[in-house]
Structure 1
Amino acid sequence: MTYLAHTAHSQFGALWLSFVGWILTSMSLGLIQWRVWQVSDTKVITSGVVWVGIWRACFNSYTDVSEGFRNMHCRYISLREAFTPPEIAAGQVLMLLSLIVGLSGNAGGVYAMRNAYFGVGKNSSILLSFISTVVLCLLAAVLSLIPLIWNLSSVVTNQTIQFPSEFKLPQAPISQIVTRIQDA
């Protein structure tokens, strides 16, 4: 059995990069800044800004819009709702799949690195482990990229979402952007 640890340093760096990408993917699931709407009606939405994520839509309000919500009012966007646009529904499903596939890819990478550094297994099984890790990590990247590009396209073309009245949101924004640093 040949000792592979002296040749596996770039694979170790790629594993760390994959792990950072997986963490960023998991963080992006909870963000509400997928779309930032600028609205003109400031009676309820006192800040004039609505944040629309793949799981919920939120806005700041200094009026009492519902029991217990004085500052930030959020409503969840369900996959089964009739108003949910296809890019948000696809984002909910594909980002979760990306998280699971990325976790599998990172686990395969840890297994492959263990075999390479400790000399466990045959060279062919180590190579197969690295190839499956690459395939899973690239699949996770593609699964993340599809909703991101689709959302960007929806923002650039200023597509609206027909929210129900209980969301207390206007039917269309004045403008929308992907995110702003000061809003984050």
Structure 2
Amino acid sequence: MIYLAHTAHWQFLGLVVGFVAWILMMVTAGLNEWRLWYVADVSVITSGVAWVGIWRACFYSHTLPKLEFCHSIDITDAFVPVEIAVAQVLMALALICGLAGNLSAAFAIRMVYFTMDRREDHIRLVFSVAGGLYMLTGVCCLVPLFWNTNSVLTNGTIVFPPDFFFPAAPVRQEVGSAIGVGIFASALIIVSGLLFLCYRYARQALGPWEEPVRGDRDALHGSWTVTTLSQNGSNNYFTGKDNPVYCS
């Protein structure tokens, strides 16, 4: 009998890390702090700083009915810059690929730990698919993160409509916390993908017997009848002869 559980310890760790990274990517997509806009006019934006995400733009105000004023950003809006529109698409794609990667990775680990299917080509294929999906997820997440970071560093502006109450341009910009969380999550899921792609199929036998020695209890006489393998079995593991002295 062959077992493979000892060959996938690092991949099991990769599954856990990949699942955590996928959750952090969902947090990144939902956070508004992709860009921090610092404004000079605090008559409306009384906090002096506004948060621009890929789905919403928010700020605190004491002059508006709501303390936290938010306005959604849709990909079809004419004012939306390319980097935010691409971020909406790629982050959604990253979450879908990450979910598929987690399912493939869990199935691969299950094949190694629980299934009786020991065909090498099937196991390596599933591990490769999981690793490839993890790598694709990391790339899809890193592209919008670095693109929006570059826009912040170059002080790129966004022409918001008047109902957003945003200035034409900020005094300065800073990278928000969502960028840092997303880069960390992308690094984790890429490491998980490399672990799955580096999986090596290795066999290890439990022993030379195909079946263990088993005992059957005789219910009538209360004794044990031991059944062993035949010496002339198909595998020819035993080639010795009976000892007549022992048999007598």
TM-score between both structures, scaled by the size of structure 2: 0.69
1:18 paired residue number: 18
Q: The residue matched to 1:44 in structure 2 has which SS?
A: coil
CA distance in 2, matches of 1:61, 1:175: 19
CA distance in 1, matches of 2:116, 2:55: 43
Contact 1:2–1:119 (CA<8 Å) still a contact in 2?
Answer: no
Matched, 1:94 2:90: yes
2:196 paired residue number: none
CA distance in 2, matches of 1:179, 1:32: 8
Structure number with larger C-alpha Rg = 2
2:110 paired residue number: 114
* Structure 1 unaligned blocks of 5 or more: none
Matched, 1:6 2:9: no
Which of 132, 136, 139 aligns to 1:135? It is 132
Contact 1:4–1:119 (CA<8 Å) still a contact in 2?
Answer: no
Which one-letter code corresponds to 1:105 in the other structure?
G
Deviations 1:65-99 (A, max 9, x none): xxxx4210000000000000000000000000000
2:189 paired residue number: none
Contact 1:46–1:62 (CA<8 Å) still a contact in 2?
Answer: yes
* Structure 2 unaligned blocks of 5 or more: 179-248
1:104 paired residue number: 100
Matched, 1:153 2:150: yes
Which of 65, 68, 79 aligns to 2:75? It is 79
CA distance in 2, matches of 1:125, 1:45: 58
2:52 paired residue number: 52
CA distance in 1, matches of 2:157, 2:73: 14
**Consecutive aligned runs of 4 or more in structure 1 exceeding 3 Å deviation:** none
| Greater shift in the superposed pair: 32-41 or 14-23 | 14-23
CA distance in 2, matches of 1:137, 1:30: 20
What CA RMSD, in Å, does the superposition of the two structures yield over aligned residues? Answer: 1.3
CA distance in 2, matches of 1:81, 1:30: 19
Which one-letter code corresponds to 2:135 in the other structure?
L
TM-fit CA distance, 1:180? 5.8
Q: For residues 120 and 27 of structure 1, do their structure 2 counterparts lie closer, same or farther at Cα, with a shift above 3 Å needed?
A: farther
Q: The residue matched to 1:111 in structure 2 has which SS?
A: helix
Q: For residues 134 and 180 of structure 1, do their structure 2 counterparts lie closer, same or farther at Cα, with a shift above 3 Å needed?
A: closer
CA distance in 2, matches of 1:113, 1:141: 21
CA distance in 1, matches of 2:140, 2:66: 37
CA distance in 2, matches of 1:9, 1:92: 35
CA distance in 2, matches of 1:31, 1:173: 20
1:174 paired residue number: 171
2:197 paired residue number: none
